[in-house]
Amino acid sequence: NAGVTQTPKFRVLKTGQSMTLLCAQDMNHEYMYWYRQDPGMGLRLIHYSVGEGTTAKGEVPDGYNVSRLKKQNFLLGLESAAPSQTSVYFCASSQTGGFISEQYFGPGTRLTVT
């Protein structure tokens, strides 16, 4: 099993360009998440999904959109990139449960917006 995979691993964008980050998991997890990580700020939740066809906003959703058309995939889109979106992006997934269960993270995408 590959676990959680992310593509691409690195990307450089110019201000105003758009792109889509792809996250895929092969563990049949219901929940999927997109985080951004900036120095000194830990992991901040952008959007999340509790099942196929559902999405919800997290802590910092502005400037991002997501889609969960298939259970195994969770896409993060930037419609018009800004330098403030320079960050490392992590996708994660978890199984359902009464308590929120452990999250499995992908390797990350390092995005630079110039």
Partner 1 sequence: GQQVMQIPQYQHVQEGEDFTTYCNSSTTLSNIQWYKQRPGGHPVFLIQLVKSGEVKKQKRLTFQFGEAKKNSSLHITATQTTDVGTYFCAGPTRSNDYKLSFGAGTTVTVRA
List the interface residues with partner 1, window 20-39 (CB under 8 A). Answer: 31, 33, 35
Give every CB contact of residue 104 below 8 A, 6+ residues apart in sequence: 3, 4, 25, 27, 29, 92, 93, 94
Stretch that binds partner 1, among 12-20, 67-75, 76-84, 95-103 (CB under 8 A): 95-103
- Residue closer to partner 1 by CB (options 54, 80) is 54
Which residues contact partner 1 by CB under 8 A? 31, 33, 35, 40-45, 48, 50, 58-59, 90, 92, 98-108
